[in-house]
Amino acid sequence: MGAVGNDGLAVPGRVALAREAPFTLGALAVDPATRQVVAGGRHITIEPKVMQVLVALYRASGSVVTRDQLIDCCWDGRAVGNDAVDRVIGRLRSLARESAEPSFTIETIPRVGYRLTPSGSHCATLSAGRRPLLSRRIVVGGSIAATVAAGLAFTLLPRSPNARARRFYEEGLALRGQGTSAQAEQSVAYFREAVRADPAFADAWGALAWGYAAMLEYGPRADAENIRFLARGAATQALELDSSNVSARGALLTLEPNFRNWEKIEGGCKALLEHDPTNSVARLNLAFNYCEVGRWREAERHLRDVARREPLWPLARLLLISALFSSGRVFEADQVTDEARKLWPQHADLWFSKIRQLILTGRNAEARRALADTATHPAGLDQMELDTEQALADALADGSQAARRQAAARFEEAARRGPAFAPITAFSIGLLGFTDPAFAILDGYYFGRGEWAKARAPRPRTLQLFNASARSLRADHRFAQLTNELGLENYWRAVRTQPDYRLFP
């Protein structure tokens, strides 16, 4: 039968354990993906069918789930006897008694079905709208629209996480802001271990939510919906424990792409920083949003603050370099780049950033030497990216139309690999003098139109429109048409500002 359309559950459809977010149930911590339940410090692995039924009952948020609904979402609608369902319910009732105090009960509703109810001192109703909200401190000030609904708030004394949870949490924090998809996924793995080790560790839940949200920023993902679901689940857990958790609120805010949500994300990040001015994640997100709308100089001061507070985050340095270089402050950009490359000599994006700075400032000989010196290349450089930068440097040094056409063809070949390569291709061939194909690529990337329709990005970026590589296109009348259709003109009017390229030509 597969997934069902509307089974009456809080989250309808077949229970696919790999896609389910971890949750707490009384004193139990439940991780459906690994079929692990932590009860009184003991890790218990339960059968797949038992976990599916537990998730289905949890989804119902205190409502009655019929036997037919359980069969639809846990047995794919196959014909099963009452004994099979009864056995699973019996196993769950045994599980409820595994901790020092019962964590939940399963009530049998005669001739109808079952209802799960939390119990004990950890009792909390399961509906997000009705759930009492446990907080370590009372929230002061405003909140953002993306946060989950809250009920009553209680103030608990702060508690320290156990040593194992703290260790994994700190390992995850060390990997945040590294600027690579592999390290983003590794940080999520550490945060998942932290919340397994201590399910009441609110900061780890918030960090996990932000980590999942960050994973969406590294290009298209087939599992994007699942990642969003996991992020919301982790954020909900964090906010149940601490209703003012800034990382969780920020994750919920940034699950939406920055694209055409610039004003909302700007306001949301500012509200988070009013509550916690030291939160580097919220400040980095605000700075990134400023970059996306061409406000480099405003982004710079926030990025400097993040770089000072988080000296081991190369992502903050990368954005700071872009902000300085795009503002015309070449010498400062060179300084920050060289300092960052000493810290992270194997960071490919920093290396490419340096190469592009050299090319854009007429230092082609130096760029070509760096491109040719394979002994100094970071490990794992993409050969096609190397070839295109080499072709660009050679073409600009050569100056002939033939060399420019050859370089443009290399970039167009790279762009056909996917949306991630489309913007850099458009701006690079614009630098080579081919503005018509450059705007055609941007038309495909942003709107899915024309011959480059397949280059459309699900979460397109706009900061590239305002960096130094795009300056040749900004002189074309079509650039203003593009910013208007993207909604950037509406944003600038709404917040009563202009991008730096207009204020500081």
pLDDT tens figures, 380-421:
888 899 999 999 999 999 999 999 999 999 999 999 988 889
Report the distance separating Cα 200 and Cα 195, nearest Å.
Answer: 7
Query: Measured between alpha carbons, how far is 171 from 194 in angstroms, rounded to an integer?
Result: 10
| pLDDT of res. 318 | 95
Q: Tell me, what's the pLDDT at 159?
A: 56
Output the pLDDT for position 61: 75
Return the percentage of the chain with pLDDT > 70, whole number.
88
Phi then psi for residue 40, to 5 deg, are 55, 35
The pTM of this model reads: 0.69
Tens digits of residue pLDDT in 242-299: 988 999 999 999 998 999 999 999 999 999 999 899 999 899 999 999 999 999 999 9
- The vertex-281 CA angle with 278 and 283, nearest 5°, equals 65
The beta strand positions in 153-221, using DSSP E, are: 153-155
Give yes or no for a contact between 31 and 22, defined as CB atoms under 8 angstroms apart: yes
Please tell me the total number of residues recorded for the chain in this structure: 505
How high is the pLDDT of residue 140? 25
> What are the Cα distances from residue 103, in Å, to 159, 367, 454?
21, 64, 51
Q: What is the pLDDT of residue 29?
A: 81
Parts of the chain with a pLDDT under 70:
1-13, 40-41, 99-101, 119-159
- Tell me the CA distances in angstroms from 361 to 322, 397, 432, 500, one per residue in order: 14, 12, 14, 19
